[in-house]
Amino acid sequence: MIDEAFGGTVLSKILVGLKRVVDYNVRVRVKPDGTGVVTDGVKMSINPFDEIALEEALRIKEQGATTEITEVIVVSIGPADTQQQLRTGLAMGADRAILVQTDSPVEPLAAAKIFLQLVEKESPQIVLLGKQGIDDDNNQTGQMLAALWDRPQATFASKVELEGGKAKVTREVDAGLETIEVDLPAVFTTDLRLNEPRYVKLPDIMKAKKKPLDTVVIDSLGVDTAPQFKTTKYEPPAARSKGIMVKDVAELVAALKQKGLA
């Protein structure tokens, strides 16, 4: 809902996507048979870009003077264990959580279609997603959702300002910064410089246990999640060769020539 009578933007809901990924501090290891990444006993966390998206949603809600938001809803697609990341989102300050439960990997297009189903049900004015997951680095879901929803998108956001049913978004692009204005409802994807997520305190973790977390079976949404791509093998990056020390430029040039680089 947009209402100018309040002298600003009155928003009903913000929907935030949270993805469960291997924690960014963990060294990723490939399984010996090359069929995937080792996750057993590995610390899992909220995708860092998604954590930034949630922080921005909470800051918009807390502005108060210019926005009135009834709910910040966090959504995740994944196995039952993903409830842990959703509870962390609730502890940060989200009001409600939805888990679309599946034990199979979901590609970006299928994820965008799932988000569209939830958007049509919840009618948010803003959907905030991280620009990419640190596991697959696809950077596709937000753009696909905006196209399916037929609403504006503002990707790679480093600053978001809301005013009168519109959003002015500063984007990080290859040439520097770009500022655009979009009408709401809209899809935003977040970049690293947008904000610094808050630290979750123990009392907030305890309160989060009482907040609603709904589980939706993925098949009930009627979305085709059959993979369109097949990963045949996983391989770790090639080991870096040991560096050498040179005394002067002449020795450097000689070393480069020996490697066929000069």
Which residue bears the tokens 């979901």? 106
Report pLDDT digits (tens) over 177-235. Answer: 999 999 999 999 999 999 999 999 999 999 999 999 999 999 999 999 999 988 888 88
Report pLDDT digits (tens) over 87-124. Answer: 999 999 999 999 999 999 899 999 999 999 999 999 99
Around Cβ 93, how many Cβ atoms within 10 Å? 21
CA distance 252 to 262: 10
Q: Where are the domains of the chain?
A: 4-231
Contact present, 86 and 19 (Cβ < 8 Å) = no
Cis peptide before 185 (omega within 30 of 0): yes
Report the chain's mean pLDDT, rounded to a whole number.
90
CA distance 95 to 84: 15
Contact present, 24 and 134 (Cβ < 8 Å) = yes
Contact present, 152 and 189 (Cβ < 8 Å) = no
Q: Indicate the class that CATH gives domain 4-231.
A: alpha beta
pTM given for the model: 0.85
User: How would residue 36 be classed by pLDDT, with cut points 50, 70 and 90?
Assistant: confident
